[in-house]
Amino acid sequence: MITQGKSQRRLALQLAIPTLVVLLFLSGCDSAKRIAVEVDGSRRIVDTSEDTVREALQAEGIALGALDRTQPALWDPVTDGMTIIVTRVREDTEVETKVLPFSRQVLRDEALREGETRLMQLGANGEEEVTYLITFENDLEVNRIPSARRVIKEPVDEIVVIGVSDTLPSVHISGTITYLSNGNAWMMRGASGGKRPLTFTGDLDQRVLALSPDGTELLFTRKTEAEEGEAESASLNSLWVVGSVVVGDEPHSLDIEGVRSAQWSPDGTRIAYSTAEKIGGRPGWRANNDLWIASADGLDKAQILSESSGGIYGWWGSEFAWSPDGRIFAYADADEIGVLDLSTGERQTLLDFPAYLTYADWVWLPSVSWSPDSRFVACTAHATSVAETEIAAESPIFDIWVLSVDGHLKIPLAEESGMWASPMWSPADPMSADEQTSRIAYGVAQNPLDSQASRYDLSVVDRDGSNAATLFPLHGEEGLETPQLAWSPWGDELIMIRDGNVYLLNLASGALRQLTADGGSTHPQWAK
């Protein structure tokens, strides 16, 4: 019985195996799907048992690039009758040279007759390389966007000068006044009606315009011309000097290039300067944070400070001011003001504060001015105290301070005066034996919470902070833009720039007289 049972089970298993094979075959036939694949310009019909689009393409040996797309998506399930479309995507770059058109400037010049026109500079188009990122789908361009720009050649503006009538009444002037107007240096001596240009090239770059203490020579910087075959000059500028006494005196180069700032020594026998390198991109230069002293003819040079990266925002550099006694310099960095010993090169910090965060490609630096006795420095400073909820670097508050050189006194002179307050110490009254007769002129922002764009009132105060008075505006006029001031050598008058013209202000009478009418005057200077 047992043997018979085993035989029956064996027979049943033998009969079941073919049936199972048939069922598995039929099941396999049910999972196969017929689909279409469109790729590389062709369409193919395939049978596949794969579950997803990705697996079906892999099974057919269709490789996908990093940017290729499929429709449906790679993770979608494969269904019978589906069409899978493969789109080949690639990116390429193309560089195109484009023209940068030049602009036209029209300047007014009192040296020309009314209505006379003169072409001062021919305009020239520049060039730039534009790199485009191009997207192709199945070898057809579908998108093109600029991904980078590089200026190969800067455009040169066309400059046209138009003469304006000098109808202003001539004003008596003591000493010598110089100023910059439309790219040239000008002077007036004796009377404003006798003003005349000292340069005619129209290429002064506004970095340096310094009148010697005796008023006989003017120091200035010119844009450096490119050598033949160069697209542009490798040097930032060059330092020049011109005499102001002899009419028609020719400017001459001091063979000093790449000048960030320069000034005369108090006795007018030497020149102090710092340098910078020309770089691509904004702001177009990088300070070397050095300091040199040269003879007045530029032949003998001595380095006081070696080149360095500087402190915070060192790429912008420092401001220097020579003390009236010629012994030391005051310096102003983005986050401190101090003095520099000429003999040792050592620095002493007098006041520190948080550097102002401009969120732009420029750096705010304090302005500094010496008292006539070389004992004090008047300066602007940023946010010396801030609220707990305020971010110090973003504070809009700027104040004026008076600092003693020995570090013992720090006196706040004017609060919330604004970033362009530019305090300027007057000379001591030569008619008085007391050097304490000097005063400080400074701007006061009409909107101290936005002093970068604000107009400014002009105020004056005694050196001890007493007798503060507003000098301008008094009769409903608009205030000054960025204050630009210069004291007379006798401390009784001021010149200032108002809407692009030089004005003379008498402190005793309050009389305000216009000296220029060209609308492009800047950087006033006044010497004996």
CA proximity to 105, closest of 207, 197, 180, 202: 202
344-347 LR contacts (CB < 8 Å, sep 24+): 345/304, 345/305
Ranges of residues in the chain with a pLDDT under 50 are 1-3, 6, 11, 13, 15-29
CA separation for the pair 318, 366 (Å, rounded): 9
Same fold, 203-308 and 325-483: no
CA 7 from centroid of its chain's CA atoms: 101
- Which CATH superfamily includes the segment(s) 91-153? Resuscitation-promoting factor rpfb. (2.20.230.10)
Q: How far is CA 331 from the centre of its chain?
A: 21
* Structure confidence by residue, pLDDT tens digits, 267-321: 999 999 999 999 887 888 999 999 999 999 999 999 999 999 988 899 999 999 9
According to CATH, the topology of domain 203-308 is: Neuraminidase (2.120.10)
pLDDT value for 231: 57
Q: In 3D, which of 379, 363, 267 has the Cα closest to residue 313?
A: 363
* Structure confidence at residue 201 (pLDDT): 87
Q: Can you list the positions of beta strands (E) in 283-360?
A: 285-287, 291-295, 301-305, 319-322, 328-332, 336-341, 347-352
Model pLDDT, residue 52 = 94
User: Would you state the torsion angle of the CA atoms of residues 238, 244, 249, 252, taken in this order, to the nearest 10 degrees?
Assistant: -20
Residue range 179-232, pLDDT digits in tens: 999 889 999 999 998 899 999 888 999 999 999 999 999 999 999 876 655 556
Query: Would you kindly state where each structural domain of the chain is located, as residue ranges?
Result: 33-87, 91-153, 166-197+486-528, 203-308, 325-483
The pair of structure tokens assigned to 235 is 């040097």
Do 483 and 422 touch, CB atoms closer than 8 A? yes
Which helix (H) or strand (E) segment holds residue 3: the answer is helix 2-31
CA distance 259 to 351: 27
In terms of CATH architecture, what is 325-483? Answer: 7 Propeller (2.130)
Q: What's the pLDDT at 25?
A: 40
Give residue 122's pLDDT: 84
Long-range contacts, stretch 184-191, CB < 8 angstroms, 24+ apart: 185/209, 185/218, 185/220, 185/242, 186/516, 186/521, 187/218, 187/244, 188/515, 189/215, 189/244
pLDDT at 435: 54
Q: How many residues does the chain have?
A: 528
* Predicted local confidence at residue 475, as pLDDT: 79
Give the pLDDT of residue 163. Answer: 76
Q: Which structure tokens are listed for 216?
A: 């006989």
Pairing of strands 347-352, 368-370: unpaired
Write down the pLDDT at residue 248. Answer: 84
Give φ, ψ of 471 to 5 degrees.
-95, -30
The 8-class DSSP code of residue 225 comes to P
Architecture of domain 33-87: Roll (3.10)
